[in-house]
């Protein structure tokens, strides 16, 4: 990219996020120099969002700046890590200042709220694509892995599920999207504080990006277990609950993009953690339990038990 365009981007990015003491050298040199705290390990994750695949090409750039960082922070949350640093690789069709300013606004607002500093990146010309890597800290023994669940552990989810998927479905059908649902799709809030609260306490955790059942299967496989979900206990926004009450459970069970935490608690620890979450104002809901028998069983409100997961969802997925 010509120098003028690059300088422009650098101007937007260099001071947009908080300056942290553990960043010895940030944007501007060949590498950033970063000082992780003693006693904790780095948790590192990256995600790419591609126009037309993960978002519509004409998506609101401010929401996109938020969401592209949020989906990465959600992975740190699911590990129980404290976010610290982020890099941003941007591929842009053109140096559109209006678009960039809005993108940075969304990105920087979330980075600021989470105390995360942008420490480097790359900028190239091409079809619109956003790759972000985030780095966080966690005590090695406290990291929330997928494989630690035991049979009899209680299964919980934060916030609510299915809202983002229902919003996407309504948008694709060109129907009106209630604001609460649109926010679920465009402005997911990574559960960073909850993840840190669960670190060292939950037996397993994952963030719900691909769909509740699909992500639960990852926990089941990693832990060598199965699980039961009681559908009547699922936390649903009213619009999602209405569709489910009409018999269509595909949004909460198979819809992606919720970025909630799905986690398991040993029965003897559950009461203490439920109380700690209530004190911290973190909304969580028990939705089932882990079992020896492999597979995910869905217990419908009428008592019917099924292993078939309703699908029929076009979500933005790779
Ligand atoms: P190099 O050729 O050494 O990779 P660049 O010209 O790509 O250097 O980048 C110069 C500096 O600007 C580096 O510190 C890099 O991390 C930073 N940078 C480039 N693009 C971005 C971006 N999109 N976001 C944040 N920092 C960026
Ligand atoms: Mg470069």
Asked if residue 162 and residue 278 are part of one domain, the reply reads yes
Ligand 1 atom nearest the C-alpha of 26 is: 14
Residue 8's pLDDT is 72
Q: Please identify, by atom number, the ligand 1 atom nearest to the C-alpha of residue 30.
A: 3
* The total number of structural domains that make up the chain: 2
Tell me if 58 CB under 6 Å of ligand 1.
no
Asked if residue 248 and residue 206 are part of one domain, the reply reads: yes
| Cβ contacts of 4 within 8 Å, gap of 6 or more | none
Residues 164 and 296 in one domain: yes
**Interatomic CA distance for residues 72 and 46, integer angstroms:** 6
Structural domain includes residue 316: no
Residue 94 lies in a domain: yes
Query: Do 101 and 9 share a domain, yes or no?
Result: yes
Residue 312 lies in a domain: no
Per-residue pLDDT at 318: 42
C-beta of 119 in contact with ligand 1 (< 6 A): no
Query: Which of helix, strand or coil describes residue 310?
Result: coil
What is the number of the ligand 1 atom nearest to the C-alpha of 28?
Answer: 14
In the prediction, which pLDDT does 43 show?
98
Query: Distance, CA 117 to ligand 1 centroid (Å)?
Result: 14
Please check whether residue 317 lies inside any domain of the structure. Answer: no
- Gap from CA of 68 to ligand 1 centroid (Å): 18
Closest CA to ligand 1's atom 20: 122
Q: How far is the CA of 91 from the centre of ligand 1 (A)?
A: 12
Domain boundary among 138, 164, 189: 138
For residue 134, give the CATH number of its domain: 3.30.1330.10
In a shared domain, residues 119 and 158: no
Handedness of CA 293, 295, 301, 305 (dihedral sign): negative
DSSP tag of 145: -
Q: Quick check: is 39 in a domain?
A: yes
What are the DSSP calls for 3-48, one per residue?
Answer: HHHHHHHHHHHHTSSPPPTTEEE-BTBSS-EE-PPTT-EEEEEEEE
One domain for residues 94 and 134: yes
On whether residue 313 sits in a domain, the answer given is no
Q: Which ligand is nearest to the CA of 87?
A: 1
* Whether 238 and 268 share a structural domain: yes
Q: How far is CA 168 from CA 190, 214, 248, 306, 318, in A?
A: 19, 18, 15, 26, 16
Both 213 and 127 in a single domain? no
d(CA 53, CA 132): 16
| DSSP secondary structure of 223-285 | HT-EEEEEGGG----HHHHHHHHTT--HHHHH-----EEEEEE-HHHHHHHHHHHHHHT--EE
Q: Could you read off the pLDDT tens digit of each residue along the chain, which spans 318 residues? A: 665 666 777 778 889 999 999 999 999 899 999 999 999 999 999 999 999 888 888 889 999 999 999 999 999 999 999 999 999 999 999 888 899 999 999 999 999 999 999 999 999 999 999 999 999 999 999 999 999 999 999 999 999 999 999 999 999 899 999 999 999 999 999 999 999 999 999 999 999 999 999 999 999 999 999 999 999 999 999 999 999 999 999 999 999 899 999 999 999 999 999 999 999 999 999 999 999 999 999 999 999 999 998 875 555 554
Tell which residue, 90, 115, 85, 113, has the closest CA to residue 12.
90
Q: Which of 2, 10, 104 to mutate to test the pocket of ligand 1 (most atoms within 8 A of CB)?
A: 10
Domain that holds residue 129: 5-138
Q: Is the CB of 122 under 6 A from ligand 1?
A: yes
């Amino acid at each position: 990219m010509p120098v003028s365009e690059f300088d422009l981007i650098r101007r937007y990015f260099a001071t947009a996020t908080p300056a942290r003491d553990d960043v010895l050298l940030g944007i501007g040199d060949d590498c950033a120099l970063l000082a992780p705290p003693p006693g904790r390990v780095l948790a590192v994750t990256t995600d790419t969002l591609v126009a037309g695949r993960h978002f519509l090409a004409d998506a609101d750039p401010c929401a996109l700046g938020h969401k592209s960082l949020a989906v990465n922070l959600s992975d740190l949350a699911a590990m129980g890590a404290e976010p610290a640093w982020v890099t941003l690789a941007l591929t842009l069709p053109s140096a559109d200042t209006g678009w960039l300013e809005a993108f940075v606004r969304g990105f920087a607002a979330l980075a600021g709220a989470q105390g995360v500093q942008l420490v480097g990146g790359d900028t190239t010309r091409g079809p619109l694509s956003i790759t972000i890597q985030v780095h966080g800290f966690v005590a090695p023994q406290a990291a929330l892995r997928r494989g630690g669940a035991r049979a009899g552990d209680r299964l919980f989810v934060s916030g609510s599920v299915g809202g983002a998927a229902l919003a996407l479905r309504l948008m694709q059908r060109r129907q009106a999207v209630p604001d609460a649902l649109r926010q679920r799709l465009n402005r997911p809030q990574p559960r960073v504080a909850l993840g840190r609260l669960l670190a060292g306490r939950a037996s397993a955790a994952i963030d719900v990006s691909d769909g509740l059942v699909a992500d639960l299967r990852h926990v089941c496989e990693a832990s060598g277990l199965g699980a039961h979900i009681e559908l009547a206990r699922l936390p649903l926004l009213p619009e999602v609950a209405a569709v489910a009450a009409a018999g269509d459970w595909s949004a909460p069970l198979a819809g992606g993009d919720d970025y909630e935490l799905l986690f398991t608690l040993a029965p003897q620890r559950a009461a203490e953690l439920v109380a700690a979450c209530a004190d911290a104002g973190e909304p969580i809901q028990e939705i089932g339990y882990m079992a020896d028998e492999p597979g995910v069983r869905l217990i419908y409100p009428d008592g019917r038990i099924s292993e078939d997961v309703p699908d029929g969802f076009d979500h933005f997925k790779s």
